[in-house]
Amino acid sequence: MKKFLVLLLFITTSGFAQENKKFEKAMEKNLTLLNDAKTGEDYTNVANAFERIAKAETKEWLPSYYEAFALILSANDVSDGTKKDAVLDKAMEVAKAAEAISPDNSEIVTLQSWITSMKISVDPMNRGQKLGMEASVLTSRAIELDPENPRPYLLQGTGLFYTPEQFGGGKDKAQKVLEKAVEKFNSFKPKNKLMPDWGKERAMSLLEECKK
Amino acid sequence: MRPLLNLYAILILFPVTALSQTTISGRITDAKNQPVAGANVTIKDSYDGASADANGSYKFSTSDEGDVIVVASMVGFTSAEKRLHLSGGEVVVNFNLKEASNELNTVTITAGAFEASDEKKMVILSPLDIVTTASAVGDIYGALQTLPGAQPTQEQEGLFVRGGDASEAKTLIDGMLVANPYFSSVPDVPQRGRFSPFLFKGTNFSTGGYSAQYGQAMSSVLVLESEDLPPRSMGNIALMTVGGGGGYTKRWENTSLGANATYINLAPYFAVMKQNRDWDSPPQSFSGSLVFRQKTSETGMLKAFMNYQYSDLSLNYPNIDDVTNNSKMHFGLNNYNIFSMLSYKEVLDKKWTLNLAGSYSKDLSRVRPSPQSLVFSNQLWQARGSVAHSLGELSVIRAGAEVQYNPFSNLYNNYRIDSTELYSAVFLEGDAYITRKLVARAGLRVENSYLLRASNIAPRLSVAYKLGKYDQLNFAYGDFYQTPDRNYLIQTNLDHFEKATHYILNYQYVDEKRTFRIEGYYKLYHNLVRIKKPVSNPYQPVFAEDSKGKGYARGVDVFWRDKKTLKYTDYWISYSYIDAKRMYLYYYPEELQPTFTSNHIVNVVWKRWFPKLRSSFGFTYAYASGRPYYKVDESNILSDRAHDYHNLSITANYLTTIYKYFTVVSLTVGNVAGFDNVYTYNYSSDGLRRNAIGPTSKRTIFLGVFINIGRDDDTE
pLDDT digits (tens, 9 = 90+) for B400-422: 999 999 999 999 888 888 999 99
Q: Are B304 and B292 in contact (CB under 8 A)?
A: yes
- Work out the percent of chain A whose per-residue pLDDT is above 90: 59
Question: Looking at the domain that runs over B113-710, which CATH code has it been given?
Answer: 2.40.170.20
Considering only the beta carbons, identify the residue of B8, B38, B713 that sits closest to A41.
Answer: B38
Residue A3 has pLDDT above 80, yes or no: no
First to last CA, chain A: 74
Backbone dihedral angles phi then psi of residue B134, each to the nearest 5 degrees: -55, -45
- Work out the percent of chain A whose per-residue pLDDT is above 70: 90
The residues, any chain, with a CB within 8 Å of residue B4's CB and separated by 6 or more, are A3, A4, A7
pLDDT tens, residue by residue, B585-643: 888 888 999 999 999 999 999 999 888 888 889 999 999 999 998 876 666 667 788 89
Q: Answer whether B4 touches A (CB < 8 Å).
A: yes
What is the band of B125 on the pLDDT scale with cuts at 50, 70, 90? low
Whether residue A44 and residue B657 make contact (CB cut-off 8 A), yes or no, is no
Backbone dihedral angles phi then psi of residue B63, each to the nearest 5 degrees: -100, 0
* Rounded average pLDDT over B214-231: 92
SS3 B534: coil
Residue B117: C-alpha distances to residues B316, B340, B388 (Å):
42, 23, 21
Element (H, E) at B529: strand B514-531
Q: Answer whether B419 touches A (CB < 8 Å).
A: no
Q: What pLDDT, on a 0 to 100 scale, did the predictor assign at position A78?
A: 87
Q: What pLDDT, on a 0 to 100 scale, did the predictor assign at position A14?
A: 54
d(CA A131, CA B231): 8
Chain A hits for B564, Cβ within 8 Å: none
First to last CA, chain B: 69
pLDDT tens, residue by residue, B231-290: 888 899 999 999 999 999 999 989 999 999 999 999 999 999 999 999 999 999 999 999
Whether residue B75 and residue A90 make contact (CB cut-off 8 A), yes or no, is yes
The residues, any chain, with a CB within 8 Å of residue B233's CB and separated by 6 or more, are B248, B249, B250, B251, B710, B711
| B170: Cα within 13 Å, side-chain hemisphere | 20
Whether residue A122 and residue B121 make contact (CB cut-off 8 A), yes or no, is yes
Element (H, E) at A158: helix A150-162
Chain B hits for A133, Cβ within 8 Å: 231-232, 234, 710
> A148: closest CA among A186, A112, A116?
A186
Q: Answer whether B272 touches A (CB < 8 Å).
A: no
Please report the number of interchain residue pairs, chain A to chain B, with beta-carbon separation below 8 angstroms.
108
Q: What pLDDT, on a 0 to 100 scale, did the predictor assign at position B715?
A: 39
Element (H, E) at B50: strand B49-51
Q: What fold is seen in the domain B19-99?
A: Immunoglobulin-like (2.60.40)
Whether residue A137 and residue B231 make contact (CB cut-off 8 A), yes or no, is yes
Q: Answer whether B45 touches A (CB < 8 Å).
A: yes
Q: What pLDDT, on a 0 to 100 scale, did the predictor assign at position B528?
A: 96
d(CA A94, CA A114): 13
Chain B hits for A64, Cβ within 8 Å: none
What is the band of B522 on the pLDDT scale with cuts at 50, 70, 90? very high
Whether residue A166 and residue B656 make contact (CB cut-off 8 A), yes or no, is yes
Spell out the domain ranges in chain B: 19-99, 113-710
Backbone dihedral angles phi then psi of residue B242, each to the nearest 5 degrees: -110, 5
- Which of A24, A29, A125, A140 to mutate against chain B (most B CBs within 10 Å)? A125
Q: What pLDDT, on a 0 to 100 scale, did the predictor assign at position B127?
A: 65
pLDDT tens, residue by residue, A157-174: 998 888 877 667 788 889
> B198: closest CA among B158, B220, B170, B230?
B230
Whether residue B45 and residue A55 make contact (CB cut-off 8 A), yes or no, is yes
Taking the CA of residue A21 and the nearest CA in chain B, the distance in Å comes to 11
Range name among B212-226, B271-285, B345-359, B656-670 with the lowest pLDDT average: B656-670
> A30: closest CA among B47, B56, B25, B52?
B47
Q: Which residue from A minimizes the CA distance to B46?
A: A56
The mean pLDDT of chain B is: 89
Whether residue A53 and residue B656 make contact (CB cut-off 8 A), yes or no, is no
Chain B hits for A134, Cβ within 8 Å: 231
pTM for the whole thing? 0.86
Chain B hits for A109, Cβ within 8 Å: none
Taking the CA of residue A211 and the nearest CA in chain B, the distance in Å comes to 18
